[in-house]
Amino acid sequence: MGARAAGSRAEAHRDALAAIYRCGAAYAERLPMLPTALERVAAVCTDELKTLSAARPKVTYLGLESGRASELFSAARKEWLPGLLHAPAWDAHVLVCVNHDLIYTYVDVALGGDGSQQPVIEPRPLSRIETRIAQTFVARLAAALKIAFEPFAATHFAPDGDIGGANPDRLGGPHAPVAIARYRLEAGRCSGELQLAIPDAVLTALKPAFARPPPGRTGTADPGWTQKIRGEINRTQLMMRAVLEDRPRTLAEVASLRVGQILALEATPRSPIRIDCNGEPLLWGEMSQSNGVYTLRVQGFVDREQEFMDDILSG
């Protein structure tokens, strides 16, 4: 009777400890940089996948929660495929679980689909080819994890065994508490979910790495987002205009212009041509030809101070 009571108390104590870590807020408080690293995973995955398809697939980080390894291997999760990744520098394994919808979405993306087809709605077993393609997705995720975690706790991630054959003992046993990061992959009209489970014991060992920003960083700015913003700025389109000559005219002269009228210019083919960008003088160029078409050869940048002085002196 005493042994049974002691066992009940031990189980209650274990459940009470698990309840403390039942929500992601606990991880955010104990490991404030962990959510930052997990968000980087989504950004790196998106950059890696967007070149595969016109559907521009996107991976979104949905949040962090607590659970047990057994929940990820339950019989009710028939439409989820688990796979293990080995992190040698951590001396640990992490679990990746992808649902069938994500696999269907990734197969469509990997084979060049544009995401316009209706998502698969009939449950069915995965084919051998789909399973092998899913394995390539896990390999891509492993590469993204390496990049995302490098500023905090650098390690390689390598697939350990075939997807679908994961062993919960590699996570510390079926009752081991784990942190579960949830993600969504979207491509056109298709989408699916991914879960990344990291044992609490591993995170406890890595607490110094996730408790503060990496050395050399004064804030929580994410380099992945910085690179993304820089890329978006670099892709911004600007209007450029080549001006051969500026000729002031009165309103009466402009009003009297007629179709077919010829306007005489003092400029010659050798005259410098000003190149404006969004209305601001930027470059000087000269007229030339290449392959039968007119071109502009850049001579140099406009010297704003010199232009200002020339305007004053000419006035």
Domain harbouring 163, CATH code: 3.40.1550.10
The verdict on residue 6 lying in a domain is no
Q: What is the pLDDT of residues 46-92, one digit of tens each?
A: 998 888 877 789 999 999 999 999 899 887 788 899 999 999 999 99
Which stretches of the chain are DSSP H helices?
Answer: 2-20, 24-30, 34-49, 100-110, 128-153, 200-205, 207-210, 223-234, 251-255, 304-314
Section 13-38 average pLDDT:
65
Look at residues 209, 234, 259 and tell me which one is the last residue of a structural domain.
234
Q: How far does Cα 267 stand from its chain's mean position?
A: 51
**E strand or H helix at 96:** strand 92-99
- Provide the pLDDT for residue 84: 94
User: Is 245 in the same domain as 227?
Assistant: no
Is the Cβ–Cβ distance between 180 and 195 less than 8 Å? yes
Rounded CA gap, 176 and 67, in Å? 9
Above 90 in pLDDT, residue 14?
no
User: Is 272 in the same domain as 158?
Assistant: no
The verdict on residue 5 lying in a domain is no
User: Is 287 in the same domain as 229?
Assistant: no
- Pairing of the two strands 280-290 and 190-199: unpaired
- Provide the pLDDT for residue 215: 65
User: Is 100 in the same domain as 116?
Assistant: yes
Burial code of 90-126, b = ≥16 C-beta within 10 A, e = fewer? bebbbbbbbbbbbbbbbbbbbeebebeeeeeeeeeeb
The verdict on residue 1 lying in a domain is no
- Structure tokens given for 35: 């959510």
The verdict on residue 101 lying in a domain is yes
Number of domains the chain contains: 2
- Structure tokens given for 96: 């990746």
User: Is 182 in the same domain as 62?
Assistant: yes
Q: What is the pLDDT of residues 119-168, one digit of tens each?
A: 666 778 888 999 999 999 999 999 999 999 999 999 999 999 888 888 88
Above 60 in pLDDT, residue 7?
no
Section 259-288 average pLDDT:
85
Above 70 in pLDDT, residue 281?
yes
The verdict on residue 284 lying in a domain is yes
Rounded CA gap, 126 and 133, in Å? 11
Rounded CA gap, 196 and 27, in Å? 14
Above 90 in pLDDT, residue 182?
yes
Tell me the pLDDT of the chain averaged across its residues.
83
Q: Which CATH number is 291's domain given?
A: 2.30.330.10
User: Is 81 in the same domain as 225?
Assistant: yes
User: Is 155 in the same domain as 76?
Assistant: yes
User: Is 190 in the same domain as 278?
Assistant: no
User: Is 152 in the same domain as 253?
Assistant: no
User: Is 257 in the same domain as 214?
Assistant: no
Q: What is the pLDDT of residues 97-116, one digit of tens each?
A: 999 999 999 988 888 777 77
**Which of 8-17, 80-89, 133-142, 264-273 is least confident?**
8-17
Q: In which region does residue 139 sit, left (phi positive, over 0), alpha (psi from -120 to 50) or beta (all else)?
A: alpha
Instruction: Look up residue 125 and give its DSSP letter.
Output: P
Section 168-192 average pLDDT:
91
The verdict on residue 93 lying in a domain is yes
Query: Is the model more confident about 312 or about 275?
Result: 275
Q: Quickly state the pLDDT bin for 195 (edges 50, 70, 90).
A: very high
User: Is 122 in the same domain as 263?
Assistant: no
Q: Which pTM value belongs to this model?
A: 0.61
The length of the chain in residues reads 315
Query: Domain limits at 308?
Result: 240-314
Section 303-308 average pLDDT:
71
